Amino acid sequence: MEKNIILSVKDLEVKFKVRDRELTAIRNVSLDFEEGKVVAIVGESGSGKSVFTKTFTGMLDINGRISNGEIYFEGKDISKITDDKDWEQIRGKKIATVFQDPMTSLNPVRTIGYQISEVIIKHQGKSKEEAKQIAIELMEKVGIKDAANRYDEYPFMYSGGMRQRIVIAIALACRPKILICDEPTTALDVTIQAQIIELIKELAKEYEFTTIYITHDLGVVANVADIVAVMYAGQIVEYGLVEEIFYNPQHPYTWGLLSSLPQLGEKGDELFAIKGTPPSLFQEIKGDGFAPRSEYSMKIDFELEPPMFKVSDTHYAKTWLLDPRAPKVEKPKTIQNLHEKMLALTSKGGVYSDRDK
Amino acid sequence: MKKYIWTRLLKSIISILIVVSIVVIMLYTLIPVSKIFENDPARQKLKTNYKTVYTYSRLEDLGYLDYYTIGEMCLAKDSQDINACITAGSDENIRVLNEFEADGFTVEKLQQFDEMQGNSIAYRYYGVLELLGNFYKKLIVIDHPFKIHDPKNPDMERGYSIGLDHNNVPAIKCSGCEYKYQLYFNTSFPFIHTNALKLNFGISYPTNAGVPTMDVISTGQGTMDSFEQTFPTGEVLKSPILQHTCKYKYETDHLDQKRFDDNYANCALKYDSPSMIQTSYIFGISSLILAYLISLPYAIAMARNKGKFVDKSGIVLINILIAVPSLALIFFVKYIGFAFGMPDKFPQLGFTNIKSYILPIIILALLTMPSLMMWVRRYMVDQSNADYVKFAKAKGLSKKEISRNHILKNAIIPIVNGLPSSIILAISGAVITESVFSIPGMGKMLPDAIKSTNNNMVITLTFIFTSLSILSVFLGDLLMTFVDPRISLNVKEGDK
C-alpha cells in the first residue's frame, strides 16, 4: 500500500538556551505523518510533545532553535525558514493549531466574528462581507446556533466549550492540511471534552485534514487516534498503530503509562505511578533515558542508546528488551489483558476517560 | 446603565460633601483665631478698642461667630428707647445685655481709653453644626427674578425674556435677577454659560482680601484689555467690560447711563492675561500632550522590540528620569535652556511670547514621561505574553498585525482609564515647576492659602480638586466601557 506522507521529520534536534546553559528538548526525532491519519503524541509533561509540534509552524519560543535535522512539508524543508513572512504562508493557512485553553486563546476585546474573519481576509484575500459569510457558515459548522446573531458577540459571552468550538472554527477557516491539537480538551469538563473530540473527528472527515493530537489523556488517544507516538525525554520511544500500542506495547515506559490508567485501578488499591523523574535535559543522556526509572533495565541500558527495533511494519520501539540477546520479560500484569479490559470499559459507552466519574 | 450613573453621581456628591465638611470643621475649629490675623496689615495698624471691634467684625465676616454692637443689640431686642439703650449702665441697657447673656452670648465691655470706652459688644462662636449649616446655606446661589429689591426702582419689571446679546447671539435675559444674562453663548470654553447658578465660597482673606475666592483663581490677570463693542444704548466704545457678566447696580453714574439702558452696569472686566486656572491648564495640557506624543510610540516600540536596543535605551532613560530628583531635573533643564536663550523666569517675556512656555512644558513632560512609558510598556509586554497572542500568531498573523489589532486594544484599556484624570487634574498646577519659573498659576495656591490661613481659599480649592478628582475617575470608568466590552456599568441586584 502506497503511503502518502504529508509531513516528514528527519533527525530533528531542538535546543533551548536557558540562563546561559543549553538544554536539548528534542533529541534526533524522525517521524512521518501520513495524510488523513490521526496521530496522537503522548508522554508526560516536559517530554517535548508541544515543542516537537511547534517546530512545524515556527512557533518555538525566542530562546529555542532547531539545531539539526529537517522537516519536509510540501517538498520544502520548513525547518530552515527564518523569515516570518514565509511562516505566515504556512501558519494558520496550511498548518493550524488549537491550543489547550479556550478561555484565553481568544482576544477578550475583539468580537468573535472579527477574530474568525480576520484569518479569512488575511489568507484568502476575501472582502469583509465575503469573510463574514464564510465565518458564519463555519460557526454553524462547529455547532454554534444562531451564528449570524452571535457573530458580533465577544468571547466573554461564550462558554468554554463554545469558545473551543470558535477556536476550531478559526483553525479551520483556511482549510488547513494539518491540524495540531495541543491538548484541546484538557481545560474542558468531561462531557464537553467528548463533544469537542467528536467535532474534530467529524470535521477531519469532511475537511480531510491530518490531525496531530498532543495529549496525556490515553482515553482520548484510544478514542480518536490511528497512530500513536510515545515520547519520553525528547525522543519517540515507541511508535505504532493504536491497537499495537494498547494491546502489544513493547517499551517499559509505554507499559508504565498504560499501567497508570486510572480506569485500570482496582478499588482499594493505590493507583500505579511511574517512579522517579525524567532525566535533566541539560546533560547529555547516556544510554536509554528511561533506564534509571525502569524495573526492567539492563546494564547496556545505561551505556548505549538503543536503536529503533521493528516490531511489525507499523510498530517500532526503542528498547534493548527487543534485542534477541535480551532476556525475556513479561509486561506488567495490569496491562496484560488490556484489550478485554478496554472493551469492557467501552461497552458501557462513551469515551474511556468518562468511566471514572 | 442610567441607573448606575445616577447612583454613582449621588455617591460622588455625598463624598464631596463629606470631604468639604471635614475640611470646614477642621479649619474653623482647629486653627487658632489669632493665626488668622497674623498676615493682616490693616489690623496691625489699629489700636485700642478699634482693634477689638475690627477683630470681631472680621470674624463675623469670615463666619466664625455671631457679633453684635450695642446698637444692633438694642434693635434686636426691640428696644423702645434706643438712646437709653445705648447708654452704658441704664436700665434698658442692662436689660438688653442680660437678655443677650441669657441667649448664650459673651457680653464684653470695651475697656480701653477712647470714645468707645464703656460700650458693650456681644458675640457667640458658632458650634460645629451651625458652622456647616451656614456654609452650605450660602454655598449655592440661585438667581431669580425676585432677587433685586431696589427702593429707587420699585416698579421694576420681573421675568425672563429671550433676546439677542451685544454680539447678536440669542441669550436668555432676566429683569429682576442679579445677573442680566442667565444663559448665553460665546467663543470661550465651554461655549454655553450660565449665571443662574453660582457657587459662593465666601471671600478671600487675608490675601486678596475682600475678593470672592472663585474670582481670585478664575479672573484674568495682567492689565485690562479693551476691545471695541456695542453697548445697549447703541454707543460703540473701546472698553474692557464683559457685558455678559453684568450685575444689577443700585447707584448708576453718568458713565454707566451713557452705556447701559438699565441698571445692569456692574460688570466684570477683560484682562490681557489668562487666569490662574487657565495658566496652569495651558501648561498642564501642553505638557501632557507632549508627554503622550513621545511616551506612547516609544513605549510601544520598546514593547515590540523587548530586549533589543530600543528597549534597553528606553529603560535607561526611564531609570534616569525616575532616579534624578525632580528639583535637580528642573534646574538642569532650566540651565541648559538658558544657554539656548530661553528665559529662566516666566514673567521675563510674559504670556505673549512663546519662549516663556517652552522650558516649563518640556520639564513637566519629562516629569510625566517615565511612569507613563514604564506602564504602557508593561501593559504591552504583559499582553504580548497572553495566550491569545500565541493563538493569533498560530493563525498566521504578522507581528505588526498582532500588535496593532490585538495587543494595543487590550493594553490601551488601563491607559484610557487614567486619561481623564490626567487631563482634568492638569488645572491643579505643578507646585515646584511653577515656583521655579515664577508662573502665576494654581500650583502654589493651596500651600500659600494654608500658610496664610486663607480658610475660604483652602475650602474652595479642596472643593474644586475633590469634585474634579471624583468626576475624572467617574469619566475614566465611563470611557472604559467604550474600549472594553467586558465592562458594563450596571447596578447588580446584589449591590443594594
A160-169 per-position pLDDT tens digit: 889 989 999 9
Q: Under 8 Å CB-to-CB from B341, ≥6 apart: which residues?
A: B355
Tell me which residue of B107, B110, B109 sits closest to B47, measured CA to CA: B110
List alpha helices for A211-284, DSSP H.
218-224, 242-247, 252-259
Answer yes or no: is B184 within a domain.
yes
B400 and B252 within one domain: no
Residue of chain B minimizing CA distance to A101 = B387
Angle, CA of B162, B165 and B167, to the nearest 5°: 140
Query: Cβ separation of B397 and A118 shorter than 8 Å?
Result: yes
The type of residue at B315 is I
Chains A & B: contacts with CB separation below 8 Å: 82
Specify the pLDDT at position A357.
Answer: 38
Q: How far apart are CA B333 and CA B311, in angstroms?
A: 24
Domain end marker among A161, A195, A225: A225
Number of domains present in the structure of chain B? 3
Domain end marker among A210, A225, A240: A225
Report DSSP state, residue B421.
Answer: H
Edge to edge, what strands does the sheet with B192-194 contain? B159-164, B170-175, B181-185, B192-194
A142 and A172 within one domain: yes
Answer yes or no: is B11 within a domain.
no
A216 and A178 within one domain: yes
Query: Cβ separation of B396 and A97 shorter than 8 Å?
Result: no
Number of domains present in the structure of chain A? 2
Tell me which residue of A221, A187, A216, A9 sits closest to A95, measured CA to CA: A9
In this predicted structure, the answer to whether residue A252 has a pLDDT above a threshold of 50 is yes
Answer yes or no: is B65 within a domain.
yes
Answer yes or no: is B459 within a domain.
no
Residues of A with CB under 8 A from a CB of B: 57, 59, 84-85, 87-93, 96-97, 99, 101, 104-111, 118-119, 122-123, 154, 156, 167, 170-171, 174
B89 and B175 within one domain: no
Considering only residues B490 and B300, tell me which one the structure prediction assigns the higher pLDDT: B300
pLDDT digits (tens, 9 = 90+) for B255-308: 888 888 888 888 888 888 888 888 898 899 999 999 999 999 999 999 988 889
Question: Which of B311, B382, B389, B395 would best serve as a mutation to test chain A binding (most A beta carbons within 10 A)?
Answer: B395
A213 and A241 within one domain: no
B318 and B286 within one domain: yes
pLDDT digits (tens, 9 = 90+) for B323-356: 999 899 999 999 999 999 889 888 888 888 888 8
Assign A350 a pLDDT band (cuts: 50, 70, 90): very low
CATH for A257: 3.40.50.300
B231 and B288 within one domain: no
A202 and A265 within one domain: no
A299 and A266 within one domain: yes
Domain end marker among A193, A210, A225: A225
CB-CB contact of A10 with A72 (8 Å): yes
B105 and B174 within one domain: no
> How far, in whole angstroms, is CA B360 from its chain's centroid?
22
A241 and A218 within one domain: no
Specify the pLDDT at position A355.
Answer: 41
Specify the pLDDT at position A349.
Answer: 46
Q: How many CB atoms lie within 10 A of CB B104?
A: 10
Query: Cβ separation of B486 and A109 shorter than 8 Å?
Result: yes
A258 and A188 within one domain: no
Cα radius of gyration (chain A): 21
B171 and B109 within one domain: no
From chain B, pick out residues whose CB is under 8 angstroms from the CB of A60: none
Looking at CA atoms only, how far is residue B314 from chain A in angstroms? 21
Residue B88 DSSP SS3: coil
Answer yes or no: is B5 within a domain.
no
Domain end marker among B238, B269, B300: B269
Q: Under 8 Å CB-to-CB from A335, ≥6 apart: which residues?
A: A249, A255, A258, A259, A264
Specify the pLDDT at position B363.
Answer: 93
Question: B173-193 burial, b if ≥16 CB within 10 A, otherwise e?
Answer: bbbbbbbbbbbbeeeeeeeeb
B265 and B280 within one domain: no
A170 and A119 within one domain: yes
From chain A, pick out residues whose CB is under 8 angstroms from the CB of B394: 57, 59, 91-92, 96-97, 99, 171
Q: What is the DSSP string of B94-126?
A: HHHHHHHHHTTPEEEE--SSSTTTT-EEEEEEP
Answer yes or no: is B288 within a domain.
yes
Domain end marker among B252, B269, B286: B269
Q: Under 8 Å CB-to-CB from A308, ≥6 apart: which residues?
A: A239, A316, A317, A318
From chain B, pick out residues whose CB is under 8 angstroms from the CB of A87: 396
> How far, in whole angstroms, is CA B143 from its chain's centroid?
21
B364 and B241 within one domain: no
Report DSSP state, residue B377.
Answer: H
pLDDT digits (tens, 9 = 90+) for B29-74: 888 888 888 878 888 888 888 888 888 988 888 888 899 888 888 8
In which domain, by residue range, is B60 found? 31-136
Note the pTM of the prediction, 2 decimals.
Answer: 0.79
As beta bridge partners, residue A309 has: A317
Answer yes or no: is B455 within a domain.
no
Answer yes or no: is B384 within a domain.
yes
Is the bond leading into B41 cis (omega within 30 degrees of zero)?
no
Residue of B395, B406, B483 with shortest CB distance to A170: B395
B416 and B281 within one domain: yes
State yes or no: ipTM above 0.95: no
Strand-strand pairing, A38-42 and A227-232: parallel
Q: How far apart are the first and last CA of chain B?
A: 15
Query: Cβ separation of B393 and A107 shorter than 8 Å?
Result: no
In which domain, by residue range, is A309 found? 230-354
Residue of B396, B399, B483 with shortest CB distance to A123: B396
- A127-136, A264-273, B166-175, B287-296: lowest mean pLDDT where? A264-273
Specify the pLDDT at position A346.
Answer: 57
- A217-221, B138-142, B252-256, B411-415: lowest mean pLDDT where? A217-221
Looking at CA atoms only, how far is residue A265 from chain B in angstroms? 36
B390 and B257 within one domain: no
A146 and A83 within one domain: yes
Query: Cβ separation of B396 and A91 shorter than 8 Å?
Result: yes
B397 and B252 within one domain: no
**Phi then psi for B234, rounded to 5 degrees?**
95, -5
Q: How far apart are CA B309 and CA B315, in angstroms?
A: 10
Specify the pLDDT at position A353.
Answer: 45
